[in-house]
Amino acid sequence: MTLTEPEQQAVFDCRQDFAAELLALAEADERIVAVCNDSVGSSNLVGFRQRFPDRLINVGIAEQDLVGVAAGLANAGKIPFVCAAAPFLTGRALEQIKADVAYSEAHVVLCGQSPGMAYGELGPTHHSIEDLSWMRAVANLDIIIPADPVQTRAAVRWAAASQRPSYLRIPRFKVPVVTPGDAPFEPRRAVLLQDGGDATVIAIGSLTSRALEAAARLRGEGISVRVLNMPFLDPLDEDAIVAAARETGRIVTAEEATISGGLGAAVSAAVVTHHPVPMRILGIPRVFAPTGDTAFLLDHFGLSADGIVAAVKDLLRHG
C-alpha cells in the first residue's frame, strides 16, 4: 500500500481524533471547556461530557449565543473550544465571530465540524462551502484546515496554546493519513508532500489525498507535479506559493469550498502580486449543490484525482 492509492488506504473520520485530542488536553489543562449547540453527539463530545460534565456547556440551538458565551468564557480565563456544525457556526454567528472573538482578540477556538459537503444529501443548507470565504474576510483570525487525523490533532494542540482566535475545520468525510510524521505544523508553513517541476498542485483538507493520487497518475505519464498542502489558510505560506510559481510555472489549487474566496483566491492574490503564472482554481463554482452523497458531489464538481489531472493537463496544453 502506498500513499498514492487512497482507495486502498485506511480512511478516518477526523472528528474522533479531534475529540480524543481535546479530551487529552482537557485532562492536562483545566481552563479548557467545550461549548456546543446541542451538538454533543455530532461533535463527538460524549466522552468529554462524561469526564467533565461541568466543563461541557451546551447552550442549545442558538449559535449567536454560542459564540458570544465563548467570548465571555475566554474573558474570564477559560479556553473555549466551540464545537458546532460548520455551516451554522460560521453563517449564523458570523458577526459574533467578527466582533466578540476576532476583533476583541478573545482566545476562542471555533471548531467547524463536518465542513464542506460532508453532509452530502442533506443539501446546501447543511453544506459549509462558504466558510473559508467568510472566515478569510475576518481580520485577526487564524484559519486551520486539517487534511488528516495527524493534522487534526496538531491543530487542536496548536489552537489551545496559541492564545489567539482561530477557526478549525474538522473533517467528517473520511480521509487517509497524508501527512508525514515529521511534517511541519505552524503558521506560514506549507507542507511539501511531493516535489516536481512541471506544475504545482496546492490542496487542502479532503482534496489533499486526491492531489497525491493525481500526481501519481501524472507521473506515470511523465508529468512531474509538486504537491503542497497548506494546513494554515491564514496566515498563508506565501513564500512557498511564490517559489512554486517561479520554479514550476503553473499552479492548480484544490479545495472543498466555493471558489469565491478560499484557497484559490488567496493563492491567486499571492501569485499575481509576486510572480504571475497561469492557474486553475478547483472548488465549487457559484452554485448550490444538487442532491448526492459527499463522494458523488466531490466528483460532480471535479474535486477528484481525475479533475486535478485534467486541470494540470489543461494548464500544460493551454497555459
Cβ(200)–Cβ(243) under 8 Å? no
Question: 190 CB contacts (<8 Å, ≥6 apart)?
Answer: 202, 228, 229, 230, 237, 240, 241
Contact pick of 20, 40, 99, 242 for other proteins (by CB under 8 A):
99
The residue range among 3-11, 64-72, 126-134, 237-245 that interacts with other proteins, by the rule CB under 8 A, is 64-72
* Closest to other proteins by CB, 64 or 268: 64
Which of 105/195 has CB closer to other proteins?
Answer: 105
103 part of the interface to other proteins, by CB under 8 A:
yes
The nearest distance, CB 29 to other proteins, in angstroms, is 14
Q: How far apart are CA 217 and CA 305, in angstroms?
A: 8
Residue entry with cell 493525481: 214
Q: Which three cell numbers stand for residue 95?
A: 458577526
Smallest distance, Å, CB 230 to other proteins?
28
65-73, 141-149, 194-202, 295-303 -> range binding other proteins (CB under 8 A): 65-73
d(CA 110, CA 124): 21
Dist. CA 73–CA 79, nearest whole Å: 7
Using CB under 8 A as the binding rule, whether residue 25 contacts other proteins is answered as: no
Q: CA 49 → CA 41, 159, 226, distances in Å?
A: 10, 21, 43
Position 70 contacts other proteins (CB under 8 A): yes
Measured in whole angstroms, the distance separating CA 8 from the mean position of its chain's CA atoms is 23
Q: Does 106 engage in binding with other proteins (CB under 8 A)?
A: yes
Among 6, 101, 84, 79, which Cα is nearest to 40's?
Answer: 84
Query: Is 63 among the catalytic positions?
Result: yes
Among 96, 166, 194, 304, interactor with other proteins by CB under 8 A: 96
The end-to-end CA distance of the chain, in Å, is 34
- Residue 239: other Cβ atoms inside 10 A: 13
Judged by beta carbon, residue 55 or residue 300, the one nearer other proteins is 55
Work out how close the CB of 74 gets to other proteins at its nearest, in angstroms, rounded to a whole number.
8
Catalytic annotation, pick one of 7, 30, 63, 121: 63
- Candidate residues 64, 162, 224, 260; the one interacting with other proteins per rule CB under 8 A: 64
117 binds other proteins (CB under 8 A): no
Applying CB under 8 A, the residues found at the interface with other proteins are: 33, 54-55, 57, 59-60, 62, 64-65, 67-78, 80, 95-96, 99-100, 103-106
